[in-house]
Structure formats: C-alpha cells, structure tokens
Amino acid sequence: MESKLKHLELIQSVINRMAGNSFLLKGWSVTLVSALFALAAKDSNSLFLFVAYFPCICFWVLDAYFLRQERLYRKLYSNVCDKDENEIDFSMDASVFSTSVQSWGGTAFSNTLSLFYGTVFFTVLVVTIIAIIGS
C-alpha cells in the first residue's frame, strides 16, 4: 500500500504544480495588460493597446497547455487509484490518456479559460476602440 501512496503523492505534486502555474499565468496576464493600459494612457500612445493583445493571447495558450496537462495527470491519478498494489510501476506518463481528455484547442476554449481570457481580450478590444474613437 505504501508504494501506491507514494505514486499518488508524486502525481498529486505534478497536479498542484500545474494548477499553480495556471494561477500565476492569470495573475501575470492581468498585470501585464494593466501595465500596458497605464503606459498607453500616460504617453497617449495607443500602440501600447495593440501590444496588450500579445500577452493576452500568449498566456491564454500557455494556460490551456497547463490545464490540459493537469487534466491528463488527474486521469493518471484515477488510474493509479484503481490499480492493485502489485501493479504500481511509478509511471508518470500521462500521455496515454490524451484521447480521453479534450484537445488543446478544446481546453483553450473551455468555460473556465474562455470566460477569463475572453473577458481580458474583450476589455482590451473595448479600450482599443475607445482610444481610436477618442483620438
């Protein structure tokens, strides 16, 4: 039973790391977009607003990657839970579950990510339109 618990702990640490990465990406996304808004307002240079699309899209892509990886490792965790003690091989290969988890694109446009990054992207779009109309 001890080897099964150790294997589950290893997998859980990977899941926690992926979730932490996702949280940090969301924070950095909002921070960078806000900083670019501040630069655009300070210098009255609307080009900074167009640059704000770049971190929004990049962090969206990275977050989708980490969320998909987290889902793969959750499948691996469930698989290890169902195994007998003598079947534990300490494999950390979660790619065998890639067909049972949404694709990267499906993950990118899942409810959780599209709601967050869609809001950020829409905000950048609205601020850009307001800046163009106002100038």
Model pLDDT for residues 80-90, shown as the tens digit of each residue: 999 988 889 99
* Residue 22: per-residue pLDDT: 95
Confidence of residue 119 (pLDDT cuts 50, 70, 90): very high
Enter the tokens of residue 26.
Answer: 């969301």
Q: Which of 75, 59, 60 is nearest to 15 (CA)?
A: 75
What's the pTM?
A: 0.89
Q: Does residue 33 register a pLDDT over 90?
A: yes
What domain count does the chain have?
1
Average of per-residue pLDDT across 113-127: 95
Q: Does residue 11 register a pLDDT over 80?
A: yes
Tens of pLDDT, residue by residue over 41-70, are 876 677 888 899 999 999 999 999 999 999
* Residue 52: per-residue pLDDT: 92
Average of per-residue pLDDT across 70-79: 96
Q: Does residue 135 register a pLDDT over 90?
A: no
What contacts 24+ positions apart, CB below 8 Å, involve 69-73? 69/18, 69/94, 70/15, 70/18, 70/19, 70/22, 71/101, 71/102, 71/107, 72/97, 72/98, 72/101, 73/11, 73/14, 73/15, 73/18
Which domain does 48 fall in, by range? Answer: 2-134
